[in-house]
Amino acid sequence: MNYFFNGQFRCGLVEFTDTDGHLQVRQHIFWKEPNEEEIFSFLSRRLPQLLEQKWYADIKEIKEQKRVNPKRMQRMLRIARQKLVLSTKSQQAISQQRDKLKTIKNKRNKEGKQQFMEEQFKKKQEKRR
């Protein structure tokens, strides 16, 4: 079991393989940093309930995926853990608005550059004449 801080809560990840040989992951949220007693109580009480729950993943998708190098998988997990979690809808709305403004600004800059290049080309053509 690994636990990490996702920006808002302490989360515990449990990875295991089921009887069919499929890798499964369960997540449990600890509200604060767990001490040994809380970890042991989780392992003895809550974990068996988590393991008994059905896994509703599409097995076809899992089988079709290419096997990922373990080091790459660790890197991807570390990057995903380090990403800040947007906790409120207002933060998500601000983020979406920022992204829209960014695309509009990039489009405007691209058009301005293209117009500038066309003007430069016209000036060169006039000089040649």
pTM flag (> 0.85): no
Whether 41 contacts 49, CB under 8 Å: no
Amino acid letter for position 9: F
Q: Residues 56-100: pLDDT tens digits?
A: 544 444 455 678 888 998 998 888 888 766 567 767 777 888 888
Q: Is the dihedral of CA 120, 122, 125, 126 positive or negative?
A: negative
Question: CB neighbours of 70 closer than 8 A, spacing ≥ 6?
Answer: none
Distances (CA, A) of 65 to 44, 58, 59, 61: 33, 11, 10, 6
* Residue whose structure tokens are 């117009």: 115
- What's the confidence (pLDDT) of residue 87? 62
